[in-house]
């Protein structure tokens, strides 16, 4: 059975930035019948520390707030090659993002065989807890996309 | 008119440090303003809470240097309450601290700072065989065959050609301030990847003694871990041997990869000796061999250096109300008795009052208040803290390991000691210190094993755990040398609760704005006088600011599908 890591990314103290973490919490609650090969991980803003969770899995499903090219209010799903890897110029080690982790995993030759990102564009990024109403309305769709994907790979 | 450059993370997306630099004739930086653009506020959260919880709350200030605030916090509470910790706890704290320093410095050099010196795209032009020759001439590190470098180079080329990603599109590649030959760039890229793989092993030591990482567990009175050589649920022989293996591998990596790379890279930049700055250095010291109160027993000494004068070491007493003070003349706070008057942290106040421009804005009002960082001063002097301060102090005091390593590095580079007072010196000091702390890791491992062998398994002193046994009122000071420099926590406990808590972090010293007397902070001073090859691409600013290893509050990390850069540079 393939090892699957489901990772929620984001800072729950910055409004919709916490979308990824919230979506994975919900998904885990709704998925009660999955085998132990599926792990749910609150990735927070851990950056570099998450590299192992990406490189050690066969399949990775990530939830994160995203800046899509067209910024429609909808759930975006990207897979494998559609996910860009970048190494950014940074001011501090706090700025290690998903794009950098992906590029490093690829350069290491340890990128997972399948990787899917479920994302929504944020509406509010103000300091404070909770997700905006608009993003809350997209949560069910996002969780649905996650379930659909997990269903298609869990028995691989 | 002078041009003004702003280097700022895109508002509300990332990071919290902003630099505004005025560029004068010949593109030389005339003046610079450093601004912290976010308020921490932990001091207010702590008021009225249980002092025994303070470590867990303050530790979460930072997820990169994840143990340092916990350590300073338990030390300040223990200091206030007069708690002596057991020998095992002292050793374990030292071992975890040495682990943190080593991992942090390694990550900083390869992950954050290397791209200020290393041109990744140039590595595509390298001759793998020549790269192998260079690598083998500077180090016995085994991963150095022509085939190894050729494979990596082909992967890099594949990335560029695949077209789907602009992995290299956001750097200042090809910038005239890059000086390394393609082969050295290729070696550095290889080690960038190896270091990323490797650093995650080091912090496993924190999970052994602190239960988890990041944010391992501490305890007022000692450490919250049990030692029992015969039990599976405690620290036993098996876990200790794992720790030993990690330490040995770490030491090898620092000796055979980090230090040779540092010297090889520095050799091409030894004419670029800008970025020295203040020339004032402050250390609280750390790594107590006896009680934390015994400053004589610190392996990293305490003291101050002024005006680059290594012949005079000034005594430092962070409890003296006239030495360490913070004022807010250029910070978005207000004090009851005047913003220009420095207050010792035991008398400190935290009252935010934002008077800056309403965002979005182009420039800060740098004539008035322009930062969320307060203005710490030592005897009214702005000070630099961190690896360069510590290495210079140890060098001035004649510490044998530091003196030998510094002289070895200066000798190989054929430069004098004055070269230390620079951006490159700061970067070199971090590497030298990393070699030292990797040695400390083994030193404390040995101490721990020796002490366990005597039958002493105690890790905590809980005699004064119960608040009913505390004095009605007490003040305490706790310190550590975090990877980024001197860190102090000052606490005032009243009726079993936190009455007041003040934290002065290393980056507040280094990134401080100017004070009421017009004395600039360490970043601001270090940037002055630096010539820029191309102000549109301010690589030199990033290089110098990065050399301090700025610590910014954890922000948000939105994933940008368009691959936009996350640090914005604008010029007006």
CA distance A17 to chain B (A): 6
How far is A144 from A138, CA to CA, in rounded Å?
10
Across the interface, of B165, B552, B563, the residue whose CB is closest to A94 is: B552
| Nearest CB to A103; choose among B107, B165, B553 | B165
CA B307 to chain centre: 22
Quick check: B556 and A10 CB within 8 A? yes
- Domains recognised in chain A with CATH numbers: 4-153 (3.40.50.1450)
Q: What is this structure's pTM?
A: 0.90
Strand partners, A117: A62, A78
A29 class by beta-carbon count within 10 Å (0-12 exposed, 13-18 middle, 19+ buried): exposed
Chain B residues inside the 8 Å CB shell of A118: none
Which residues of B are marked as active site? 14, 62, 65, 69, 484, 507, 551, 554
Q: Which of A88, A101, A120 to mutate to test the interface with B (most CBs of B within 10 A)?
A: A88
Interface A-B, measured as beta-carbon pairs within 8 A, has a size of: 162
Cβ of A66 within 8 Å of Cβ of B17? The answer is no
Measuring CA to CA, which residue among B39, B32, B33 is closest to residue B16? Answer: B39
Between the alpha carbon of residue B376 and those of residues A76, B338, B372, the distances in Å are 47, 15, 12
Q: Does the CB of A79 have a partner CB in chain B at under 8 Å?
A: no
Reported as a single tens digit per residue, the pLDDT across B492-529 is 999 999 999 999 999 999 999 999 999 999 999 999 99
Position B171 scores a pLDDT of 65
**Confidence tier at A127 by pLDDT (50, 70, 90):** confident
Residues composing chain B:
572
For chain B, give the percent of residues with pLDDT over 70: 93
Binding-face residues of A in 127-156 toward B, CB within 8 A: none
pLDDT band for position B559 (cuts 50, 70, 90): low
Phi (first) and psi of residue B134, to 5 degrees: -65, -45
Give the CA distances from residue B155 to residues A104, A108, A130, B123, in Å, rounded to whole numbers and listed in that order: 11, 9, 42, 12
Instruction: Quote ipTM for the complex.
Output: 0.78
Q: Indicate the fold that domain B3-116+197-571 takes in CATH.
A: Cytochrome-c3 Hydrogenase; chain B (1.10.645)
CB-based contact B565:B1 (threshold 8 Å): no
> Following DSSP, what letter does each residue of B169-231 receive, concatenated?
TTS-TT-TT----HHHHHHHHHHHHHHHHHHHHHTHHHHHHHSSSSS---BTTB-S--B-TT-
Q: What pLDDT does B429 receive?
A: 98
- Whether the per-residue pLDDT at B561 is higher than 70: the answer is no
Give the residue from B558, B560, B563 with the most A CB atoms within 10 Å of its CB, the best one to mutate: B558
Q: What is the per-residue DSSP string for A71-131?
A: --SS-EEEEGGGS-------SSGGG--HHHHHHHHHHHT---SEEEEEEE--S---SBSS-
Q: What pLDDT digit, counting tens, does each position of A1-51 carry?
A: 899 999 998 888 888 989 999 999 999 999 988 999 999 999 988 777 888
What residues of A are in contact with residue B171 (Cβ under 8 Å)? Answer: 87, 89
**Residues of chain A contacting B115 with CB distance shorter than 8 Å:** 87, 89
- Pairing verdict, β A59-67 and A114-120: parallel
Could you tell me the pLDDT band of residue B36, with boundaries at 50, 70 and 90? confident
Within 10 angstroms of residue B281's Cβ, the number of other Cβ atoms is 28
Cα B48 from Cα B567, distance rounded (Å): 38
Please determine, for residue B180, whether its predicted confidence score (pLDDT) is greater than 50: yes
Instruction: Parse chain B into domains and list their residue ranges.
Output: 3-116+197-571
CB distance A93–B107 less than 8 Å? Answer: yes
Chain B CB contacts of A11 below 8 Å: 554-557
Q: What is the pLDDT of residues B394-407, one digit of tens each?
A: 999 999 999 999 99
* Mean local confidence (pLDDT), B111-118: 86
Pairing type for strands A4-9 and A59-67 reads: parallel
- Taking alpha carbons only, the member of A22, A32, A30, A28 closest to residue A5 is A28
Residue B164 pLDDT grade (very low, low, confident, very high; cuts 50, 70, 90) = very low
Show Cβ contacts of residue B436 under 8 Å, excluding neighbours closer than 6 positions: B401, B402, B405
Position A87 scores a pLDDT of: 53
Is B559 close to A122, i.e. CB distance below 8 A? no
Q: How far apart are CA B23 and CA B529, in angstroms?
A: 9
């Amino acid at each position: 059975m393939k090892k699957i890591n489901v990772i929620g990314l984001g800072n729950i103290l910055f409004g919709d930035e916490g979308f990824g973490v919230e979506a994975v919490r919900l998904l885990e609650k709704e998925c009660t019948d999955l085998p132990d090969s599926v792990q749910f991980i609150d990735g927070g803003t851990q950056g570099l520390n998450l590299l192992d969770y990406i490189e050690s899995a066969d399949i990775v499903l990530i939830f994160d707030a995203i800046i899509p090219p067209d910024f429609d209010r909808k759930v975006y799903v990207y897979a494998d090659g559609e996910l860009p890897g970048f190494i950014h110029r940074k001011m501090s080690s706090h700025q290690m993002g998903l794009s950098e982790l992906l590029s490093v995993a690829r350069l290491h030759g340890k990128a997972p065989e399948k990787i899917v990102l479920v994302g929504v564009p944020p509406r509010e990024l103000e300091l404070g807890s909770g997700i905006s109403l608009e993003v809350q309305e997209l949560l069910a769709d996002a969780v649905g996309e996650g379930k659909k994907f997990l269903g298609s790979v869990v028995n691989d | 008119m002078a041009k003004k450059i702003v280097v700022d993370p895109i508002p509300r997306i990332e990071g919290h440090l902003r630099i505004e630099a005025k560029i004068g004739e010949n593109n030389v930086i005339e003046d610079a303003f450093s601004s912290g653009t976010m308020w921490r506020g932990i001091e207010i959260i702590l008021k009225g809470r249980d002092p025994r919880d303070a470590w867990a709350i303050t530790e979460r200030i930072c997820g990169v240097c994840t143990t340092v605030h916990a350590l300073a916090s338990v030390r300040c509470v223990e200091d206030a309450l007069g708690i002596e910790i057991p020998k095992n706890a002292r050793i374990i704290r030292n071992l975890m601290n040495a682990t943190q320093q080593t991992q942090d410095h390694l990550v900083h050099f390869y992950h954050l700072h290397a791209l200020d010196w290393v041109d990744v795209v140039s590595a595509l032009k390298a001759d793998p065989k020549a790269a192998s020759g260079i690598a083998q001439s500077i180090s016995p590190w085994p991963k150095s065959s022509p085939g190894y470098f050729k494979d990596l180079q082909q992967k890099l080329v594949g990335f560029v050609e695949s077209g789907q990603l602009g992995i290299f599109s956001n750097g200042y590649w090809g910038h005239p301030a890059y000086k390394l030959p393609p082969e050295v760039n290729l070696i550095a890229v290889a080690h960038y990847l190896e270091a990323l793989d490797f650093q995650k092993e080091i912090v496993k030591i924190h999970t052994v003694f602190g239960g988890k990482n990041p944010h391992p567990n501490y305890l007022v009175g000692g450490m919250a871990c049990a030692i029992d050589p015969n039990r599976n649920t405690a620290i036993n022989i098996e876990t200790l041997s794992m720790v030993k293996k990690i330490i040995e591998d770490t030491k090898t990596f620092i000796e055979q990869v980090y230090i040779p790379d540092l010297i090889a890279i520095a050799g091409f930049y030894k004419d670029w000796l800008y970025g020295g700055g203040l020339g004032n250095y402050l250390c609280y010291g750390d790594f107590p061999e006896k009680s934390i109160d015994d400053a004589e027993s610190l392996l990293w000494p305490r003291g101050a250096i002024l005006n680059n004068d290594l012949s005079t070491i000034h005594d430092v007493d962070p409890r003296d109300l006239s030495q360490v003070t913070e004022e807010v003349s250029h910070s978005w706070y207000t004090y009851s008795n005047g913003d220009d008057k420095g207050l010792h942290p035991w008398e400190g106040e935290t009252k935010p009052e934002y008077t800056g421009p309403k965002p979005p804005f182009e420039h800060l009002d740098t004539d008035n208040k322009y930062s969320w960082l307060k203005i710490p001063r030592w005897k009214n002097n702005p000070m630099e803290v961190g690896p360069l301060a510590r290495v210079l102090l140890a060098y001035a005091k004649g510490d044998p390991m530091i003196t030998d390593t510094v002289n070895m590095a200066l000798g190989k580079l054929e430069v004098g000691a004055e070269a230390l007072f620079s951006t490159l010196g700061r970067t070199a000091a971090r590497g030298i210190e990393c070699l030292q702390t990797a040695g400390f890791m083994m030193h404390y491992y040995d101490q721990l094993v020796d002490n366990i062998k005597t039958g002493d398994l105690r890790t905590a002193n809980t005699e004064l755990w119960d608040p009913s046994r505390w004095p009605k009122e007490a003040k305490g000071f706790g310190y550590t040398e975090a990877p980024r420099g001197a860190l102090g926590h000052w606490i005032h406990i009243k009726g079993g609760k936190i009455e007041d808590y003040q934290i002065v972090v290393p980056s507040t010293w280094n990134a401080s704005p100017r004070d009421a007397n017009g004395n600039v902070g360490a970043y601001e001073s270090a940037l002055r006088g630096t010539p820029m090859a191309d102000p549109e691409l301010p690589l030199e600013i990033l290089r110098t600011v990065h050399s301090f290893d700025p610590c910014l509050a954890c922000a948000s990390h939105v994933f940008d599908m368009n691959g936009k850069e996350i640090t914005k540079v604008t010029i007006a």
